[in-house]
Structure 1
């Protein structure tokens, strides 16, 4: 096993473990939080828009992680500079923008909810802004990776 294959295998394992953690959160933690909230405050449905945003982020995150897993498989097979890897990067980039959209929706909801209830939403809103920053950095990194792949593919002659 060479170094490149070992490092991509390590990254695949990490991606798989993160995917399992996200899946476990969606299956066990989020429904439990909704159940506890429904018991504590019957008739109050203010948590549900946040749950929708959270599930949207989890699903989008899972799609991006799957594409990252596929990208590592392409790299292992020496297809890093192929149309398939470029497509995976495009999907990951779209997923980052979708996650940003869901975070923005949650921030807007938190701000509106805080306005009506008098709660202080500064903490969750600042966490959301940090999430937007982190997701924007990932989008920028994906964009940096896309450019050399596009250049290599544009320089190769077309086989028709």
Structure 2
């Protein structure tokens, strides 16, 4: 295994740990503490927590696709349709995460209004637009890889 991809595989694995820990410990703790303090807040918090749990599925799918992509790089098959497919799946997962958080933005607004904390809305916006940046980056890489594969196949035919 190459050293660079080993490092990146470890990074992908480390990206999974905090999200998994948040799903197991942080989100239930938030619900428990909110239910003890204010019942109206819990009504707004349940949809947001549900969206966070729903967004975990495409997040881990995207991490799995990134892990596969690094495996393709290890096998020297980075310039293949399977790599393009992995980038396309990462793009769709990022778009799915963004759409989920965009759908929950009214609840972020209601939580911010209820607690008088406008920073909650900013957190919701970051959670919405960060995956858009990743989707755009994956789309650019997908297009570049597609063109590189076309150029490589043309060069293979001329040799």
Same-fold status (TM-score > 0.5): yes
The answer to whether the Cα contact below 8 Å between 1:100 and 1:135 also exists between their aligned partners in 2 is: yes
Among 98, 121, 124, the alignment partner of 1:125 is: 121
Partners of 2:22 and 2:138 lie apart in 1 by 26
Structure 1: gaps of 5 or more residues: none
Separation in structure 1 between the aligned mates of residue 126 and residue 108 of structure 2, nearest angstrom: 15
Superposition deviation, residue 90 in structure 1: 0.8
CA–CA distance in structure 2, aligned partners of residues 140 and 7 of structure 1: 24
Corresponding position of 2:138 = 142
- Of 80, 97, 100, which aligns to 1:99? 97
Q: Report which of the two has the higher share of helix.
A: 2
Aligned-partner SS, 2:43: coil
User: 2: CA distance between counterparts of 1:32 and 1:131?
Assistant: 20
RMSD: 2.2
* Aligned equivalent of 1:9, options 6, 13, 18: 6
1:78-137 CA-to-partner distances (Å, cap 9, x unmatched) read 11111111111111101111111122122122224556x4x4352121222233332222
Q: After TM superposition, give the deviation of residue 144 of structure 1 in Å.
A: 1.5
Judge conservation of contact 2:94–2:132 (CA < 8 Å) in 1: yes
**Count of aligned pairs between the two proteins:** 152
Aligned to 2:45: 47
Contact 1:110–1:121 (8 Å) recurs in 2: no
> Could you list the runs of 4 or more consecutive aligned residues of structure 1 that deviate by over 4 angstroms after TM superposition?
112-115
Q: Does the Cα contact within 8 Å between 1:64 and 1:91 map onto a contact in 2?
A: yes
Aligned partners of 1:63, 1:149: CA distance in 2, in Å?
Answer: 21
